[in-house]
Amino acid sequence: MSTETWLCICYDITDALDLMHQRGYLHCDLKSNNVLVAQNKGFLIDFGKVCEISRPKAKKYKEIYKHIAPGALKGIPVTPVSDIYSLGRVLKAIVKKTNSTILLQLGTVATDQAKTKIQSVENRDLIESSEYSQLRYQFISRKIK
């Protein structure tokens, strides 16, 4: 798959998780096996363990589940941060399957997209200044690394 395709898949699953959180739900079982890739798009699947953010589950998971956040493994109720930890594990699995050349290209594409987004923000006053500052900080941080 092309760099752009990998980037789109990562974006798709990140966006889907963000949408779930915005609507008040946690996935609670985000792992590579629960991501479907079809027609160069990424989809979250298996919503059997979903819970409401306002009513989080506190379940002690077995330590064999590498995709579960450390706090949840200890029985601490899950939060959006728990899902984001699991998302990081999925993204890490994607990164491990790509060669370093693709990763460098992926970084370049991500940086270019951030730059484009910042430039579009500079041309429009549709975003709050705090959000603009955060976007600019993320862009500059990537350039320095």
Question: Strand, coil or helix: what is 114?
Answer: helix
Determine the average pLDDT of the residues in 134-140: 51
pLDDT for position 111:
65
137 versus 79: the higher-pLDDT residue is 79
Look at the chain and report how many structural domains it folds into: 1
CATH number reported for the structural domain that contains residue 118 in this entry = 1.10.510.10
Q: How many CB atoms lie within 10 A of CB 119?
A: 10
What percent of the chain lies above the pLDDT cut of 90? 35
Containing domain of residue 86, as a range? 3-142
Q: How far apart are CA 92 and CA 116, in angstroms?
A: 25
Give the length of the chain.
145
Chain mean pLDDT for the chain = 76
